[in-house]
Structure 1
């Protein structure tokens, strides 16, 4: 692949990153906080592509104005293999195809990633209280529900069914990108809907219960939520990040 072709591929890659970063597409790959770095990377690649193309254009004009060296004749150019243009296909896939977010298949084959929070901020007096699933799970397990007692909470997540049919409400937590996503699970009890389909997104309202179980994959702690009502909900804009509506 010659320099002009390399510049074209760089430009397409930069444009793909900018396209992903200016739409919700990037949320399928990385956490929301990395958007500025993604946009900066796209801009740098486009600038590098334009600089490469300009440099090659100037070198070509300079070369045309010079006579060939005596005794050597003109240099023969060799065509580049066309198969190298297959490098463009992943870029087109990035632009045209939005991969689905990780769901119940990954959740049931990966142990819960629940970790002890550093602090337990005070909760507003809203009723029911919209709470992130990870926040609820951390308070329920490691704070023993002290800040949840007597409160109705509202959580959103997707359904995953264990091998024995145990229903979990799940959100996938990210450290950096979708490649390192791990599930945080809340087991459901109480007024569970009679029919639950894996990967269905639900918003559930319920109360804290001290009951808990162990993840069959890694023996990690899984708290329960006693449901009083549940309703289907569209997949959120960012399926990986928790939404703390304080």
Structure 2
């Protein structure tokens, strides 16, 4: 008769799924290979100006949105783990009609996008909250929470009315739709409640970790899709088409509304889209992962583990209990091998942190983003490391079943999450530069009317002289057209890159950013009297104010050049 100990000793060891090991190994080899040899292998493949401009805008949108995405999933995971859904149910009035506006206003406490509001709204309905109130919360939370309102304020600097209008309109729409749902007399029969990804008894820290990883992998993949759409619209669609859309209120409302429906724009980043018609940042609410397409379990039962978890430890042989150094190290290796999700997250986090520490981020976003990027990168790296460590503690069948269902793919990565490797590939192989002449050529050199005229009145009081006055290109491009009287007869010094024009003309140019390169605006000054240096060459020019060039669509600032010298591009090439 075989003893229990003998049964355990004869049982085969736990084996990791072959597919996950192959995926991990292939991903690791690919990323390390690209880091070491990518630029040599693909040398000459990404030299086209248009391709590099697209890559810069693609990476820029991704980098700009990453801190907001990380903050959103961090806070939403914290609320999922530490704030029970019953709290919201108790806070709502019993009468459904009164519960709707209270639920709408309650959306302000849930930072994050639809990835957070969808599961929370489902949990509210599962706890007995009227569907109309849960739907009102679902619609308001992604639009009025602090993260979204803060991103709106960043996208529209100095325009608090936009933030207020968004909050008020979103609240109104969510209430109206909630009441309409009530009036239809339809209940939860129309809605299929998703299953809870965390079974009863799961620790709060485990819920927090897995929720954050799940939401980041799903939302991050669709963020990359949105960044690609934004870059494509900027590079492929002619700027005059976009200007025409922006100039017509009715057309712009219809077009942007259709884009929002078709592309499912993320609430954490849609303000940056609305700030200009051309960039489009996309995301989509994460689906609750329920298993394989055939509805089968994702975690298969491990061979040899047919003894119940409660008695397994008691029937093991003494030398097998607790494990040793070799067993622990083998478990760690096994956990790392199957954790493709952790590998993707750690590479994304490392890329973000590297951009911030080296100053490369200045090619894509404004200097004020540095600390936000450092924090986002550090959080992602810690999340990936903690996820690997958590795998080493998961040994029983129930734990493996839960982790197979949690949606972030220890035994298989969500397909959308693989898209997060595309910006990593772009950074390792293409090395997108700061925007230059190609981006400027896609815009008009016509000077825009300043919002606040007389901005250079100090020039009228300064002494006239031969010493050139150093000015930013964006300032000269505006003032030379709209403040002629104070500019006449003066010499100026400008620093920028060379942008070739038509019929032998050339411009001294700089790009100005509001948030990131996707909203970059070119400021160009026509250079007269000198032969054009090479395209994209950085120069410092001196010269005298010249009468602006007249065009049907406006005037172009001009400078009669008396001296040109080449210079090294500054660390921050934007104004």
Both structures adopt the same fold (TM-score exceeding 0.5):
yes
Aligned: 1:239 with 2:573:
yes
- Equivalent-residue separation in structure 2 for 1:220 and 1:24 (angstroms): 37
- Are the counterparts in 1 of residues 348 and 420 from structure 2 also a CA contact under 8 Å? no
Which residue of the partner structure matches residue 542 of structure 2? Answer: 205
The aligned residue for residue 250 of structure 2 is none
C-alpha separation in 1, matches of 2:574 and 2:539: 15
1:175 aligns with 2:175: no
Q: Which has the higher contact order (CA 8 A, sep 6+)?
A: 1
Deviations 1:59-89 (A, max 9, x none): x14x28x9x9xxxxxxxxx9648x9868545
Q: Deviations along 1:118-174, whole A, 9 cap, x unmatched? A: 33373677932221111112221222251x344322101112222222211111121
How far did 1:47 drift?
Answer: 2.6
Matched-pair contact (CA < 8 Å) for 1:16–1:95: no
Distance change in 2, residues 1:87/1:174 (3 Å): closer
Q: Unpaired segments of 5 or more residues in structure 1?
A: 69-77, 242-246
Q: Tell me how far apart the structure 2 counterparts of residues 7 and 145 of structure 1 sit (CA, whole Å).
A: 62
Q: Counterpart in 1 of 2:377?
A: 42
Select the structure of larger CA radius of gyration: 2
1:75 aligned partner: none
What are the residue-to-residue correspondences of 1:19-58 with 2, within 5 Å?
Answer: 19-58=354-393
Of 452, 455, 479, which aligns to 1:139?
479
Secondary structure of the residue aligned to 1:22 is helix
Aligned-residue offset at 1:178: 1.5
Q: Is the 2:543–2:563 contact (alpha carbons within 8 Å) kept by the matching residues of 1? A: yes
2: distance between equivalents of 1:90 and 1:161? 30
The structural deviation recorded for 1:7 is: 1.7
Please list the CA deviations of residues 196-238 of structure 1 after superposition, one character each: whole Å capped at 9, or x if unmatched: 32222211011222x112568xx24311112111112222222
**In 2, Cα distance between the equivalents of 1:132 and 1:41?**
32
Question: Which of 185, 189, 203 is the equivalent residue of 2:524?
Answer: 185
Contact between 1:111 and 1:215, CA under 8 Å: does it hold in 2? no
Structure 2 vs 1, CA of residues 97 and 108 (structure 1 numbering), >3 Å: closer, same or farther?
Answer: closer
Give, in whole Å, the separation in 2 of the partners of 1:178 and 1:96. 19
> Which secondary structure does the structure 2 equivalent of 1:141 belong to?
helix
The secondary structure found in structure 1 opposite 2:458 is: coil
Report what 2:441 is aligned to.
108
Matched with 2:64 is none
Structure 1 residues 180 and 143: alpha-carbon distance in aligned structure 2, compared to 1, 3 A threshold: same
The aligned residue for residue 73 of structure 1 is none
CA spacing shift, 1:41–1:120, aligned 2, 3 Å: farther
- Tell me the TM-score normalized by structure 1: 0.75
- Secondary structure at the aligned position of 1:120 is classed as coil
Task: Tell me the C-alpha RMSD between the 2 structures.
Answer: 3.4
From 159, 165, 176, the equivalent of 2:504 is 165
Residue aligned with 2:533, SS: coil
Q: Structure 1 stretch 108-117 or stretch 170-179: which is displaced more? A: 108-117
Residues in 1 aligned to 2:433 and 2:426: alpha-carbon distance in whole angstroms: 13
2 CA distance for matches of 1:135 and 1:87? 38
TM-aligned CA distance change 1:153 to 1:213, over 3 Å: same
Secondary structure class of the residue paired with 1:163:
coil
In structure 1, which of residues 210, 213, 226 is the aligned counterpart of residue 560 of structure 2?
226
Whether 1:91 and 2:424 are equivalent positions in the alignment is: yes
Structure 2 unpaired stretches of 5+: 1-19, 25-212, 214-338, 401-409
Q: Is the 8 A contact 2:506 2:532 kept in 1?
A: no
Q: Distance in 2 between matches of 1:233 and 1:114?
A: 28
Q: Contact (CA 8 Å) 1:7, 1:50: kept in 2 or not? A: yes
For 1:102 and 1:214, the matched residues in 2 are separated by 27
Q: 1:175 to 1:215 in 2, by over 3 A?
A: farther
Looking at secondary structure, tell me which structure has more helix per residue.
2
Shift in alpha-carbon separation, 1:199–1:45, aligned structure 2, 3 A: same
